[in-house]
Amino acid sequence: MLQSLITSKTRLKLLLKFFLNKDTKSYLRNLETEFGESTNAIRLELNRLETAGLLNSEVTGNKKYFRANTKHPLFSDINSIVRKTIGIDRIVEQVTSNAGDLKEVYLVGDLAIGKDSSIVDLLLVGKEIDRTYVSGLVQKAEKHIDRKIRYLVLDDAEKTDYLTKNNALLIWKA
């Protein structure tokens, strides 16, 4: 859906990269490698987003790093639109409703670092989570968002070790 509103594929990738996880920062050459596109196309879109005030930049060494401007009045709206595009809002809403003693839900994997992916990786933290129920919800949600969903269930003790080794973005907390 967002592709029909934003026709520039590069701009769409940049919005996903920076507005899904507000802590994501990157520089031009890194984005070139990640997106597989020319630096000119990426530079043009970065400059447009920076001029609009949606991105902030800082120079460290010889690299200019970009990150989302969280103080921009549209930040929360764009973040919400990006989450809805990926389908995170539906997944979390369905999973958290009756899954059991669920305490936290994290987005992990490529999407957690703002890299678009056809797979949504989730970490569910809690005790006595009804895995059969969650599995059924995941199947339903996959049909609505046209993405594959993988999930891992851990308790609080296991979570700490997992989070130190993986990129994760907290998306829901009880």
| pLDDT tens sequence across 94-120 | 666 677 788 888 889 888 887 878 888
Helix/strand/coil for 35: helix
Sites in the chain below the pLDDT cut of 50: none
What is the per-residue pLDDT for 79?
87
Q: Tell me how far apart the alpha carbons of residues 159 and 79 are, in angstroms, rounded to a whole number.
A: 25
Amino acid identity, residue 41? A
pLDDT digit string, tens, across residues 20-42: 878 889 999 988 888 888 899 99
pTM: 0.64
Q: Tell me how far apart the alpha carbons of residues 18 and 55 are, in angstroms, rounded to a whole number.
A: 8
Q: Count Cα atoms within 13 angstroms, Cβ side, for 100.
A: 15
